[in-house]
Amino acid sequence: MSRKYFGTDGIRGPVGEFPITPDFVMKLGWAAGKVFLERQGDRRPLILIGKDTRSSGYMFESALESGLIAAGVNVGLLGPMPTPAIAYLTETFNAMAGIVISASHNPHYDNGIKFFSSNGQKLPDDVEMAIEAMIDQDMTVVDAADLGHASHVTDAGGRYVEFCKFTAPRNFSLQGMKLVVDCAHGATYQVAPKVFKELGAKVISIGASPDGRNINERVGSTHPEALVEAVRENEADLGIALDGDGDRLLLVDHLGRIIDGDDILYVMAKHRHEAHDDCRGVVGTLMSNMGLEIAIRQMGMGFVRTKVGDRYVVEAMKKHNWPIGGESSGHIICSDVQTTGDGIVAALQVLVAIRSLGVDLATALEGMHRYPQKMINVKVADKSALSGCREIWTEVQRIEEALGDSGRVLLRPSGTENLIRVMVEAKSDDLVEQYVNPLAELVVKALS
């Protein structure tokens, strides 16, 4: 389906540039309110709004609030709150929908709007298309007696903290552990440290002083160097790096090594396998390391890859009825405890795993052997020409035959630029270098 405004994860862009403008966001709120009211069933005519710590969030919060009230919808204002908290609270309050104002791991000068349905999951395609169609209609205002009203939800943070804690087993304790928690100066800066402290850990917080402009700036999961340094300086057992809206997670072990989403999925799967949980497989993406796939299969579990994007991961998890999946970037979904990617919950699942296994994080990872990989971004004149370029695909087939089961090749057009991402993964760095550079040069020659 052709989309006019929505991307794979809501609507996002630079603040002040269409569509991330106050007038468009007000119209978006109105259109969403109209669509959800038409489909509300027996749910309260309530939509929750949460945001991260960007200065522009206040502007867009007011715009959404105005549009929703004009459509006749009541609004619950959550304030700064992680994206997964909004998913949870939407379902808890039996609201029609939840709206997140955030650009996730992007810098402060970007922002975005994304939605959760009443069950705390991403919106189905047909609802997004209905909202887009409504945006193109003339905006009207309901009668004064039917206007919605707004109120602040004062206990939102406390509710979410308790929810996170209850995703761990009963009586689970982090007593004796020292953790460094990097909140990226984002939406988790209040709730994340509380979760781990209340479970008994000694917590050192960094990236927990937002000023509206420093979100994700040299901190968080996209810049884990600060966490590495803090873990080493404080001799911590583990470091937790969240992103600006709290749906992404990277870890740092006690040795100061960065642990990405593939590593996290392996530890979770290993724990469930040894605990004889009903976990028959794991969902990764095209970017997941071959080492993860091999390690998962060696445990007797299934492994499937999807396109990049947590939406596709969730779809595959539902299809196979598997409880864990995620991306190398740190979007981790544990569908048996949360409806969407949740950095705090994923971190707790890893902590539960290593406590249960009786080892530290570094030791828990010893069964996974990562394959070297290298990606080159190649600028081309027309990325769409890749699919029909016989010369390139003949060479890809030759490389794949040479690598056999010990490597793979991935060519992936960028979603936003005229770029082809050329990736080769193999058992050794020498093999990767042998194939990736000549293949990238061929792509340049054939498509430029």
Q: What is each CA distance from 175 to 32, 197, 224, in whole angstroms? A: 45, 9, 25
Are 259-364 and 373-447 in the same CATH fold?
Answer: no
pLDDT of residue 203: 98
pLDDT of residue 416: 67
pLDDT of residue 168: 97
pLDDT of residue 42: 77
| Identified catalytic residue from 104, 118, 288, 335 | 104
The class (CATH top level) of 11-154 is alpha beta
pLDDT of residue 2: 67
CATH topology of domain 259-364: Alpha-D-Glucose-1,6-Bisphosphate; Chain A, domain 3 (3.40.120)
Q: Sketch the domain layout of the chain as residue ranges.
A: 11-154, 161-169+176-258, 259-364, 373-447
Strand partners, 150: 75
What is 373-447's CATH number, 3.20.20.70, 3.30.310.50, 1.20.1250.20, 3.90.1150.10? Answer: 3.30.310.50
What's the predicted TM-score (pTM) here? 0.94
* Phi, psi torsion values for 286, nearest 5 degrees: -55, -25
- For the chain, residues with pLDDT lower than 50 are none
Q: Is the distance from CB of 215 to CB of 184 less than 8 angstroms?
A: yes
pLDDT of residue 1: 53
Q: Is the distance from CB of 191 to CB of 82 less than 8 angstroms?
A: yes
| Cα Rg of the chain, angstroms | 23
102 catalytic residue (yes or no): no
pLDDT of residue 311: 87
Alpha-carbon dihedral angle through residues 316, 318, 319, 323, given to the nearest 10 degrees: 80
Name the amino acid, one letter, at 425.
Answer: E
CATH topology of domain 161-169+176-258: Alpha-D-Glucose-1,6-Bisphosphate; Chain A, domain 3 (3.40.120)
* Predicted confidence (pLDDT) per residue in 332-378, tens digit: 999 999 999 999 999 999 999 999 999 999 999 999 999 999 999 99
Share of the chain above pLDDT 70, in %: 99
Sign of the torsion formed by the C-alpha atoms of 53, 351, 251 and 227: positive
pLDDT of residue 224: 97
